[in-house]
Amino acid sequence: MRLYLAANRDGQTLQIAAAALRGNPNVKLYLADTNATHLHNGFKGARAPFPVLLSYFYFRDRDMIAVLDKIFETHVGIDLFADSGAFSAHSLGQPLRVEAYAEWLNKWKHLFTVYANLDVKGDVDAGLKNQRYLESQGLSPLPVFHGGEPLSVLEDLIQEYPYIALGGLAGETRSGSREMWAFVIKCFKMAKGRAVFHGFGMTNWKLMSSLPWYSCDSSSWGQGFRFGAVPLFVPLLGKFDKVKVGDHASSKKHARVIRAYGFDPQDFLDRTRYHSRFAAGLSAASYCAAARYLTKRHGEITIPKRETKR
């Protein structure tokens, strides 16, 4: 299971996390596998400790090689997901042009493992039009199906594509409503044996862990520790807990897990020793461990092989 860590606007949090994990013998390199469907250009000598999701909306004017080299000290062997950032653009009243997105993708596509369509929530026809345009430019974008759209749209996508993103669920996954669960389960039943899913903006661990996602992304990994609470994945419990900075009880409770990830519990227990790099590194390591846990739980999920445009 691929669990992409979504970047903040400038990628600084990713840079801090990568630096904290670099050379850490207790952190298993996330890309150290041999499944060619998971690896950028079949690269097997992974040098990046975690997969990354970057948004075109925030990085469209940046030199992507320079961005990645700043984060990881190399742009080779990174499992990189490119999202259009359409939701952010719409929220800020800055609509994106599909022509410009296509130009950016064609310039940098050699860096990406996967890149998503410029989706349009609430307008199925517009989203499909963008999908076709990108394909006409020699690209193979991941199609996006949104919660609330007719299931007939999903059926059409399943017939054509073996890998599909489920979008528009970020707010719903936080609430964990029955309607959201029923919708997602229905999607998985429809796709069984024919397609696999990427979950955009997954923040609900129960939803993420209960279903066999091919991949998900989350920005939650880089948010909690800003408020003094570091998300910590506890493998024996199969779930996340919090390490609260300056709180003796939570640091001591999970001291063994913190050490297993290559960090010192004292750095979280004592505020005078605390630094954001410890929190960012521990959070990223936790999400890598969570991804390994899900792979063991559901097995290796692979994209069905069939004749498609993808």
pLDDT attached to residue 105: 98
For residue 46, which phi and psi values (nearest 5 degrees)?
Answer: -60, 140
What is the total residue count of the chain? 310
The neighbouring-strand residues paired with 196 are 163
What average pLDDT does the chain have? 87
The neighbouring-strand residues paired with 218 are 5
Per-residue pLDDT of 219-229, as tens digits, reads 889 876 677 89
Mean pLDDT throughout 194-198? Answer: 98
Alpha carbons 44 and 9: distance in angstroms, whole number: 29
User: What dotted CATH number matches 2-298?
Assistant: 3.20.20.105
Mean pLDDT throughout 93-120? Answer: 96
pLDDT-based confidence at 271, cuts 50/70/90? Answer: confident
- Taking the CB of residue 190, how many other CB atoms lie within 10 A of it? 14
Domain ranges of the chain: 2-298
Q: Which position has the higher pLDDT, 195 or 39?
A: 195
Alpha carbons 308 and 160: distance in angstroms, whole number: 6
How far lies 44's CA from each of 38, 75, 80, 118, 181, in Å?
A: 10, 14, 15, 30, 36
For residue 6, which phi and psi values (nearest 5 degrees)?
Answer: -75, 135
Do 280 and 16 contact (CB within 8 A), yes or no? Answer: yes
Look up the pTM and report it: 0.90
Per-residue pLDDT of 59-69, as tens digits, reads 999 999 999 99
Mean pLDDT throughout 113-129? Answer: 94
Per-residue pLDDT of 163-185, as tens digits, reads 999 997 765 555 567 888 889 99
For residue 115, which phi and psi values (nearest 5 degrees)?
Answer: -140, 145
pLDDT-based confidence at 84, cuts 50/70/90? Answer: very high
Alpha carbons 264 and 36: distance in angstroms, whole number: 36
Mean pLDDT throughout 45-56? Answer: 79
Mean pLDDT throughout 189-211? Answer: 94
Q: Which position has the higher pLDDT, 135 or 34?
A: 135
pLDDT attached to residue 39: 36
pLDDT attached to residue 67: 93
pLDDT attached to residue 173: 55
Please provide the DSSP assignment of the chain as one string.
-EEEEE--TTSHHHHHHHHHHTT-TTS--TT----TTTSGGG--S---SS-EEEEHHHHTTS-HHHHHHHHHS--TT--EEEE--HHHHHHTT-PPPHHHHHHHHHHHGGG-SEEB----TT-HHHHHHHHHHHHHTT--PBPEEETTS-HHHHHHHHHH-SEEEEES-HHHHHHT-HHHHHHHHHHHHHHTTT-EEEETT---HHHHHHS--SEEEESGGGTGGGGTEEEEEETTTTEEEEEETT-HHHHHHTHHHHHHTT--THHHH-TTT--HHHHHHHHHHHHHHHHHHHHHHH----PPP-S---
Mean pLDDT throughout 46-61? Answer: 87
pLDDT attached to residue 171: 58
pLDDT attached to residue 175: 56
Residue 139 has pLDDT above 90, yes or no: yes
pLDDT attached to residue 48: 72
pLDDT attached to residue 40: 37
Q: Which of 107-111, 212-216, 242-246 has the lowest mean pLDDT?
A: 242-246
Do 180 and 172 contact (CB within 8 A), yes or no? Answer: yes
pLDDT attached to residue 21: 87
Residue 141 has pLDDT above 70, yes or no: yes
Q: Which position has the higher pLDDT, 269 or 46?
A: 269
